[in-house]
Chains A and B, each alone.
Chain A
């Protein structure tokens, strides 16, 4: 089944065409337009500007992706769009256009949960992980550990009680004076940092449980940064050292919690998804740790870690093939619990 996927939950407009099933050709085309520059001068995503940009960019991206895949409208058999969680105005653009287009084409539509998209994204790769697995979802908006038994059978094992990991990266980068969004720049800077100079805490690892807390780390970074500024040290090196200490703390914390989650669930497979899962140090150290335990680690290619239409097309495809579809209406669910999703049989939440 050939499914058009649409993602507009935050500041990326993503569109993809996915051909699923045993005879399917897989991912046929995908394109992402990032609004990062639009929001940069405000130091964060401005929701109204995000919505205004999505409606300018979405249809041209759909046309581009159809062109790249060499498909005509008549060959599309379903449309999947992100309905939540995310920014309500941004979500509504994708939902309205996606649902209307499906009506006009006479094909079924499916409202996809953004985080289900992320956690199924590794299924776009070869080899794809088999169920069950434990998923670490780490992005600017979320940090969650999920026990995934099957599509729609999700149990949240732990999540951040305050900042998401990616949010902590961005905020710490801002403290260190890096331009928005500083997360990826912070990770690059950390490469030059001395890992022995500072040691930041590994929050909430001194007690049992799988929840995270990252907001305290930025305070640590702020204090360290103020101190080096007061002491007029070599600021460039100090900035890199603080970045390194911060990154080490986040990565260590994620590693410790993942180890616990895999043990608790008795899992043989771990998947990582979300923007932060593209972090090189995190990937390298997770591979190493899980390899030693005989746990296979899966993650999508970097381009499919951040928000994209391909993961939405895939998640929608699985449900459309199972016969699920939306009524002739649409809507946005800015807050939508992953555990509230049904299974492919339509059974209520596990």
Chain B
């Protein structure tokens, strides 16, 4: 239940905010909510698997944030703005 609410808040933040740093924060919130769901299920059935999955989610979140923040810096140096709509032109 709490995980669901946190996930919904993360999705809302992802959709509402246009600042890239806030979008990354919302992704963090959603990953955290997923981890919370895993740990709660693991505690409910008294298994260690939930915590193992949480550790994997943690590793994935850490790597995702490092790459995402590097991309944000790159984008800021190119566009001089953090608006996600500014970066929507794909020329290819």
- Do chains A and B interact in one complex? no
